[in-house]
Amino acid sequence: MARVLCPNCNSKATITSREKQSDHVADLYVSCTNTKNCGATFVSTIAFKHYLNPPRQDTAQLAASLLRNLPKEKQLELIGV
């Protein structure tokens, strides 16, 4: 879980709402929890950048697709038959 900090006082902040900009980008509306000394509200943007490890299903589909493009004898060799 991501922690959001206030850019003014570095205190914890609470996400109050989210506005989707696209499939992988959203604006987060945030309030500082340090209401006595700060109380700032601000908008922060969060975005998906890239996978470190692709989802298993995607990896399996890619492997199956690559195998289908090989000659039958090479397919059998790779799967150990």
Domains and CATH numbers, the chain: 1-49 (2.20.25), 50-81 (no CATH)
Report if pTM > 0.85.
no
DSSP conformation letters of 25-40: EEEEEEEES-TTTT--
Go through 12-41 and write b for each residue having 16 or more CB atoms within 10 A of its CB, e for each that does not: ebeeeeeeeeeeeeeebebbbbbeeebeee
Give 2-53 pLDDT, tens digit per residue.
789 999 999 999 999 999 999 999 999 999 999 999 999 999 999 999 988 8
Read off the DSSP letter of residue 52. Answer: S
User: In the prediction, which pLDDT does 1 show?
Assistant: 62
User: In the prediction, which pLDDT does 63 show?
Assistant: 79
Residues 6+ apart with CB under 8 A from 68: 75
